[in-house]
Amino acid sequence: MAQFIENRAVATSEEFMFSINEAIRTRAKGMYRLSSQHARTAELMVRSALPDIEDAIGRAASRKGNGATIGRYIADIVSPVEAAAIAAVWILRSARQPALEAINRRFGANPEFRSAFRMLFRNVYV
C-alpha cells in the first residue's frame, strides 16, 4: 500500500483495479451491499493516494456539496489518470452527476484519461 500512495499510481494499482472489478461484478450479480463495500474500498484508496483533495473526493462520492464546483476544483488539480480513477469511484458510488460532468468536460477527449478509464472498466467494455 505504501508504494501505491508514494507513486500516486491510482488507476494502475492492482488492489484498486481489483476493487473496481469486484464492485462491478458483484453489482451485476445483485449483491449490492458487497458492491458498495468494494466501491468504498476503491474510494478510500484514491483518497489516501490524493490527500490534498481527499475531502472533496469524499463529498462528491457521498453526494454532499456542490458537485459542479467540486468537479471543477478536482479537474484543475489532478492528472488524466487520476481523474479516471476518481471518475470510476464516483460512478460506482453514484456521485453527483455535475461532478462527473466537470471531470468529463476537462478530460473526456484526453487519450490518457480515456485509456485509463477503459482499463478500469475493461470488463464492461467487452
pLDDT tens-digit series, residues 41-93: 999 999 999 999 999 998 888 778 788 899 999 999 999 999 999 999 999 99
**101-121 tens-digit pLDDT:** 999 999 999 999 999 898 888
How many Å apart are CA 67 and CA 111, to the nearest integer? 24
Instruction: Indicate the pTM of the whole model.
Output: 0.86
CB-count burial class (<10 Å; 0-12, 13-18, 19+) for 123: exposed
- Report CA Rg, the chain: 13
For residue 76, the model assigns a pLDDT of 94
- For the record, the C-alpha cell of 45 comes out as 484508496
Q: Residue 30, CB half-sphere, CA atoms under 13 Å: how many?
A: 0
CB-count burial class (<10 Å; 0-12, 13-18, 19+) for 11: buried
